[in-house]
Chain A
Amino acid sequence: AQTVTQSQPEMSVQEAETVTLSCTYDTSENNYYLFWYKQPPSRQMILVIRQEAYKQQNATENRFSVNFQKAAKSFSLKISDSQLGDTAMYFCAFWEYGNKLVFGAGTILRVKS
Chain B
Amino acid sequence: GAGVSQSPSNKVTEKGKDVELRCDPISGHTALYWYRQRLGQGLEFLIYFQGNSAPDKSGLPSDRFSAERTGESVSTLTIQRTQQEDSAVYLCASSDGWTGSYEQYFGPGTRLTVT
Contact = CB atoms under 8 A, between A and B. Distances in A.
A and B held together in a complex: yes
Interface of A: 33, 35, 37, 43-45, 47, 50, 89, 91, 93, 95, 98, 100-106, 108
Contacts, number: 45
Nearest to A43: B109
Contact of A101 (B33, B40, B108): B33
B42 A106 contact: yes
Give the interface SS of chain A, mostly helix, strand, loop or mixed.
strand
Interface in B9-58: 31, 33, 37, 40-43, 45, 48, 50, 56
14 contacts: A35-B103, A43-B37, A43-B89, A43-B109, A44-B106, A45-B91, A45-B93, A50-B101, A50-B102, A95-B102, A98-B50, A100-B56, A101-B104, A106-B42
A45 B106 contact: yes
Interface of B: 31, 33, 37, 40-43, 45, 48, 50, 56, 89, 91, 93, 95, 101-104, 106, 108-109
Given A100-B31, A100-B33, 10 more contacts: A37-B104, A43-B89, A43-B108, A44-B108, A45-B106, A50-B102, A91-B43, A100-B45, A103-B45, A105-B42
Nearest to A6: B42
Contacts of B50: 98, 100
B42 A104 contact: yes
Contacts of A106: 41-43
Contacts of B109: 43
A100 B91 CA distance: 15
A37 B106 CA distance: 10
Contacts of A93: 104
B91 to A, nearest CB: 7
A88 to B, nearest CB: 12
Contacts of A33: 102
Contacts of B31: 100
Nearest to B109: A43
Contacts of B48: 100
A44 B40 CA distance: 14
